[in-house]
Every structure is written in C-alpha cells, then in structure tokens.
Structure 1
C-alpha cells in the first residue's frame, strides 16, 4: 500500500469550512441532532444500527417519551423494553436488553452521570467503540473522527483514500477540526447520507466538495460499498465533472476548445454544442465553481 498522503494537495482548512457551512445551512432535522443529552443520543445510536433513520424518528420519540431518562429506563421492566423494540422492528432484541442494562449501570455505577470520553463509554453494556465515540462527539463534543460506511465512501471518492481501515482512520483524524467533533462528525455523515450515497447526488445536494473531489472530476463513483459503476454515462453530472477536470488541468479555455475536451461528439451548432455547454457552465457558475467571461462573440471559462 502506498504511503502517499491523500490530503497532500488538499487545502484542509478550506475543505473543513465548506463542509461545515454546507451542513449548518441545511441538514435533516433529526431530533437527536437537536439535543446534547447523552442518554437520548445513546438511544438514537443503538436504534440506528439496523434501521433507516427516517423510521428511527418515530421509534425514538416514542421511546424517550415513555422512558425519558436513564433512571426511568433502569426502573422499567426489561420485558416491556424488549417488547417495544419488537413492536417497532428495531432489529436484534439483545440491543434492547443491552440498552436497559446500560441504563442500570449509569444509575448504579455512575450515580446517574454518563462517562464523557470514548474509552470510558465502552464500559457500558453493548456500547462498542463506534457508539462510544458517537456519544462522546454528539453529547460532549470531545470524540474522535467517526468512520462509518458513509464516511469511508466519502473519503474514498473525494480524496482517493485506499480501501484500508487504517488509512480511513488516519485521513478522518487529519480532517477533524480540533474541539469540533460534534458538528464535524454530523456534517461528514450527512454528506455521505445525502450527497454521496451509493448513487451520488453531487449537484442535486450541492455537495460542497465537488471542486476538489476526485470522483466528481473523473466521473468514477465506485467505492468500497459500491463495487459496480453507477449508470451515469453521459449524464449531466458526468459532463459537469469533465468540465471541472478540464479547466483544472488546462486553466482558462475558450468555449469550443472546452467542448471538445468534454465530449468527443461536441459540435458547436449541434445537439451537444455551444448552447448545451453554456447551460452547463451557467449551472457551475451559479454554484461558484467556474467563472465565465464574454468578450464580443468569444466566451472563455475558468475555475471559480
């Protein structure tokens, strides 16, 4: 495996700023994102392990309404907790048992106070390293970089990180801003869930990393959990990526010169000609990715 740093040519501060701004501007309003209560965050993390987030919302709200604290959950009948889990199709019932046992631990061993750090949180029943880090990040803002399947997909596509757990961990830690694990881990997981899913939605979701993303520029959106190429050949997304790649490689380009770089069948007055290319460039200009200059009848484009 290469020792090359995938972030060597990346402006890391700018990458961080773009992602956090994108997340803060608009993200899915899950209820567990509106709280720093470690109990509620633990409940949401355990529920999310086998269930789509859209389905977790109803179960989460019902659960914390019925058992709003570790004290109430610890006092609950375990059979009722397991029955709730089954009724809401939340996956393996042993997760309900572990959650109940963790609540008892918090009350009896920690005087009702959650541990604040990932290593200590793993002492709770059923809490592994990933869940412990998530609770530390979202409740106490002192976690490490979260690396789940979505994050791996993002790092693989955007920066060419090799499909290796150690490499993913190294790059994720380097990207994480000091003291900002709450917003950063939420933001990068949102990116993987909304913009960089198995079928990418780069333009539709206004992905903030398009300008520096290897996959967006090359048009190859394979990833560790996406073994086959999505069907995007000839798509608008692919053409936008080719424009960004061409301007990044060659600098400022005249319209027709750029067109021939983007499509082999480019014909100035044809279906895939100047009008088609101007439309793509206008979209990219609206996104702040390119600049267009009109001098008489001559049009040139450059990266924004």
Structure 2
C-alpha cells in the first residue's frame, strides 16, 4: 500500500451527485422488505444487527419476530432470565451464545444507566456491552439517522469495483464518507448495502438487478469483477454465455426487437457502430439462431430478432 492509497479520494471526474441520486432512487423504487427496515426503534434494530452477525438475513426474520414477541421492549429484555435468552439463541441457531448474553447486558445498561433511552451516536452506543463500531454505527444510522458511512464487506466490494478504491481500510472509509450525503445515513447506508447484497455480489448481477451505477462502474466497463473478497475473476460475468442469457430474457419479454432496441438491454455501453454494437450483437444472435433458440429476420426497415417458437 502506498501513502496515496491511504489518502485515496474519489477521482475528480466522478459525478458524486449523480451517483447519490441514482443509488437512492434505485433503492427507494424496490428493495428487500426486511421488517427492521420499517422501524426506527433502536432496540428492535439492535436485536436485528446482533442476530445478523452470523446468520443469513432471511433466517433472521423469523427469529427476530419471535424474539420481539417474547421480549418486546428493552425493559422486558433487561428483566429476562439469562438462561431463557441464551436458550432462545441456541434454539434459533443464531451463532455464539455470548452475543445473547451481551445483548441482555446491554439492555440492562440502557435501563439502569440511561433511563431506558438509547444513546444516539456511534460513540455513545459503543458504551453498551458487546456493541462494537460496526453495530453502533448501524444502530445510530437506522434508528437515529446519525451514523457515519457504513463500510462492510459488501460496501468494500462495491467501492472497489465501481470507483476503483484501493484495497485499504483507510481508503474505503475515506471514500465511503465522501459519497454519503450529510445527514442521510439511514437511507444511504441501507441503499449501498442493498447494492452490495443484491447486485454487486461476489458473482455480480449487474443487469439482472438493474444496478444503478452501471454507467459509471469501472468493473462493468472493463469486465473485471475481482474485488477484495473475490480474488479471481468470476468466470460467468461478462462471458458470452451471460450475454446469450440476457438476449433470451430480453426477447422473452417482447414479441420481437430491432437490434438497436435489443442492444441496450444486453449491454449498457451498446453503441450501434461501436465495438459492442450491431456487428457484435449480430454475431451473438447468429450463435443463438444456430442453436435453434432465436430467429433473426432482415427486413427493409430494420433487422429484428425474436425467440423461436
């Protein structure tokens, strides 16, 4: 790592406002509807964050609902029997049981030391038992809209691929902070984590998930989707096989499409006369036609493609 890496900032040609707008609009239009995203209760959010540390989110939903049915408030948890809480944790297979004990201790602190009111800042929340910097920032962000830019594995992957941040924690922290709009940690942190969770996964789903950053993304432009947690290039991403799949899906949604209507649905950088233009697309369609999947028809006004029935 060089000193320049540690001091990394967004390149001058990055349109920060455009990135922000595109991401938030994408998130607000459609996102995974986890119940803790519908609350601003710091207790409920803390429970979800602690449960999520070792458990897939889809499995957390049922456990989270059951936990809050049994201990609906921080006061109820503070009064709970330790063996009951630990037993619940174990029964739900939520990972290390010490997290259940820490959660119980933290509830007691909130009640006894803070009069039942949670601290609202990341620093204040870290005073609670078992609450580290990441969890504290998440609760501050989602409960109080008072957090810093979150930097987890998914966010690192997004920043590394999209804007070329070097693989260095200080660089990730710096750039994540530059990107997050001031005072909007709740929506921003939810949105960028959603991007990493559904579009920019280890095996990226750029087009399938409608990634809002495709037009600016270095990885999408170059086809190189390596990342700190993806040391080798995913074989499928950017491959001809993937492009064939996109053609079939696009034509499945329409009776037929001209090449210039189909092209942008396959590649965001499609340009009719460019390297990834009509000639490239026609070659892809010829392969599919040879396999009996697609029919290509040359008409006077335009060449169209449709699925073979």
Tell me, yes or no, whether TM beats 0.5.
yes
In 1: Cα distance, 2:176 partner to 2:284 partner = 44
Once the two structures are TM-superposed, the CA of residue 99 in structure 1 deviates from its matched residue by 0.1
Q: Does 1:227 align with 2:231?
A: yes
SS of the equivalent of 1:9 reads coil
In 1: Cα distance, 2:32 partner to 2:198 partner = 9
The answer on whether the counterparts of 2:264 and 2:270 sit within 8 Å (CA) in structure 1 is no
Once the two structures are TM-superposed, the CA of residue 271 in structure 1 deviates from its matched residue by 3.3
Report 1:58-97 matches (<5 A): 58-97=62-101
Q: Does 1:198 align with 2:178?
A: no
Q: Which residue of 2 aligns with 1:287?
A: none
Report 1:170-209 matches (<5 A): 170-209=174-213
Matching residue within 132, 139, 145 for 1:141: 145
Q: Which residue of 1 aligns with 2:107?
A: 103
The answer on whether the counterparts of 1:157 and 1:223 sit within 8 Å (CA) in structure 2 is yes
Q: 1:86 to 1:269 in 2, by over 3 A?
A: closer
Aligned-residue RMSD, C-alpha: 2.8
SS of the equivalent of 1:231 reads coil
Once the two structures are TM-superposed, the CA of residue 228 in structure 1 deviates from its matched residue by 1.7
Q: Does 1:161 align with 2:165?
A: yes
Q: Deviations over 1:124-145 (max 9, x none)?
A: 0000000000000000001000
The answer on whether the counterparts of 1:218 and 1:241 sit within 8 Å (CA) in structure 2 is no
Q: Runs ≥4 in structure 1, deviation > 3 angstroms? A: 2-7, 239-247, 255-260, 266-273
- The TM-score with structure 1 as length reference comes to 0.82
Q: Deviations over 1:237-271 (max 9, x none)?
A: 7x979955575xxxxx52688356x58xx759943
SS of the equivalent of 2:215 reads helix
Q: Which residue of 2 aligns with 1:302?
A: none
Unaligned runs of 5+ in 1: 248-252, 274-278, 280-295, 299-304
Count of aligned positions: 271
- The TM-score with structure 2 as length reference comes to 0.81
Higher relative contact order (CA 8 A, sep 6+): 2
Q: 1:29 to 1:21 in 2, by over 3 A?
A: same
In 2: Cα distance, 1:26 partner to 1:67 partner = 31
